[in-house]
Amino acid sequence: MINNNRHHQLPLPSSIVSSVQHHPSHSQLSSPTPAPPSPAAEISMDPRVWRRLPPPLVDRILACLPTPSFLRCRAACRRFYSLLFSSPFLHSHLLLSPHLPFFAFLPHQQQPPSSHLLLFNPLSAQAQAQAQARESAWSLLPLQLPAFFAPAAASGGLLAFVSSAPGHKTLLLVNPITRLMAALPLCPGQRLCPTVGLAAGPTSIVAVVAGDDLVSPFAVKNISADTFVADAGSVPSSGFWRAPASLLPRLSSLDPRHGMAFASGRFYCMSEAPYGVLEYDVAGNAWRKLQPPMRRFLRWPALVELGGHGRGEGSSSSSRVGLVACVEKSRLSVPRSVRVWTLRNGTGTGNAGAWSEVARMPEEIHARFAAAEAGRGFECAAHGDFVVLAPRGGAAGAEVLVFDARREEWRWAPPCPYVVGGGGEGFRVVPYEPRLATPAVGLLDAATPVALQHGMHG
């Protein structure tokens, strides 16, 4: 089973520390360009007070900093820098650092491999809109991958990339902060373009690879899914692929661009022609189909996980599945719009009545969004109470709309100063939380540290 308890005492694997030690340069990290600070933000602590604090207390304070803030502070002195090599500090930081609802914009095709990814922080964007931000909402993070890998999923500070070649797929887990890479064992089933789901906690990893069993686009579909489970409390703890593969409901058709959402021990993904929601119970290793709301009039539907991060600012205490989609109906009584639904009680009864509409995009915002989307569709992801919608067809971050579910606000993100990916369907948006340590990767026998430059450039 999946263990999302961040307070579980699991020693950090030595591969995490060694991967940081191999980075040739930590001092080249540059902070995001700050906006003019507010008067309240100019207040600082007297340096004489800092000098008199005992080192354990200073370490405790640093462990409470968000990951980007600590990475900027570590250049202050050698002692702060040395904390990157301390397993006790990394463990404390994993437990104490606040959750940040970042979003990662990843180039869709990794040939040639991209050298950077974009990070977007909606909290900084919100403060920037109120002229209170000290840092940019956008950051560049170095990312180097083997060729022929495409982004597939994200969870627990890890990004998942799947091999593009048909056949037995390789799933690569990457922590872009520490440059730690780990490959899961080869997927037992041969697949063409699978849909991937990932749920990673401090002590467990669950990955689902679902899609066409045969490697030819002209073959008859026999939809099934392979599930990989690794848990510190299981034997073997290094993980295994379940056998046999689980069969999806009849007439299922998956689109890998939609990805999967995870909530309450279940994965959810979209099925097309006609639209349906597929639910996978990890414990029972069983699938079932749910009917989405207004399925005859949906366009570009996407399933997301709302809430589920009690440590974050303004975030909900429990996760729930959300459906974001354009609605188009020929009759004028139902205008075109983008709507957000949530699945009641985290599970469904098999009919559209299990969904509740929670938000609808205002008309003036939808007019601009529809012009940017221009019938090409949009990328959609949720992190905490924030939902990000990015029209396809342009550069990553060119036009980004943010919905704050807690405040029920729609607003446009500030312009992105970087150009990463673009053209056609050139990028993928996934929820991402920067972490100094991802101890669950140590459960994989194939975990291999990669000696690359470490840092976030903004």
Mean pLDDT on 101-105: 93
Query: Per-residue confidence at 37, pLDDT binned at 50, 70, 90?
Result: very low
Q: Judge whether 416 lies within some domain.
A: yes
Q: Judge whether 131 lies within some domain.
A: yes
Domain limits for position 325: 102-449
Token code pair at residue 46: 């007297």
The predicted pLDDT at position 109 comes to 64
Q: Judge whether 30 lies within some domain.
A: no
Query: Per-residue confidence at 411, pLDDT binned at 50, 70, 90?
Result: very high
Q: Judge whether 300 lies within some domain.
A: yes
Of residues 236 and 35, which shows the higher confidence score?
236
The yes-or-no verdict on residue 349 having pLDDT over 60 is: no
DSSP 381-448: EEEBTEEEEEETBS-TTSS-EEEETTTTEEEEPPPPS-----SBS-EEEEEE---S--GGGGG-TTEE
Mean pLDDT on 41-67: 82
* Average pLDDT in the chain: 79
How many C-beta atoms surround the C-beta of residue 56 within 10 A? 8
Mean pLDDT on 304-316: 58
The predicted pLDDT at position 449 comes to 42
The predicted pLDDT at position 218 comes to 63
Q: What whole-number distance in Å separates Cα of residue 282 and Cα of residue 271?
A: 18
- CATH number of the domain residue 308 falls in: 2.120.10.80
User: What does residue 391 show for φ and ψ, rounded to 5 degrees?
Assistant: -60, 140
Q: Judge whether 184 lies within some domain.
A: yes
**In one letter, which amino acid is 60?**
R
Q: Identify the residue whose tokens are 């207040």.
A: 43
Q: Judge whether 229 lies within some domain.
A: yes
Mean pLDDT on 165-172: 90
**256-287 per-position pLDDT tens digit:** 888 899 998 999 999 987 899 999 999 999 99
Mean pLDDT on 369-373: 91
**428-448 per-position pLDDT tens digit:** 999 999 999 888 888 886 444
Query: Per-residue confidence at 420, pLDDT binned at 50, 70, 90?
Result: low
Token code pair at residue 83: 């904390």
The yes-or-no verdict on residue 313 having pLDDT over 50 is: no
Q: Which residues fall within 8 angstroms of residue 17, CB to CB, at 6 or more apart?
A: 85, 87, 90
Query: What is the model's pTM?
Result: 0.82
Q: Judge whether 172 lies within some domain.
A: yes
**How big is the CA angle at 186 (ends 180 and 192), to the nearest 5 degrees?**
110
The predicted pLDDT at position 335 comes to 74
Of residues 349 and 406, which shows the higher confidence score?
406
Domain count, the chain: 1
Q: Judge whether 94 lies within some domain.
A: no
The predicted pLDDT at position 395 comes to 72
**176-195 per-position pLDDT tens digit:** 998 889 999 999 988 888 99
Query: Per-residue confidence at 160, pLDDT binned at 50, 70, 90?
Result: very high
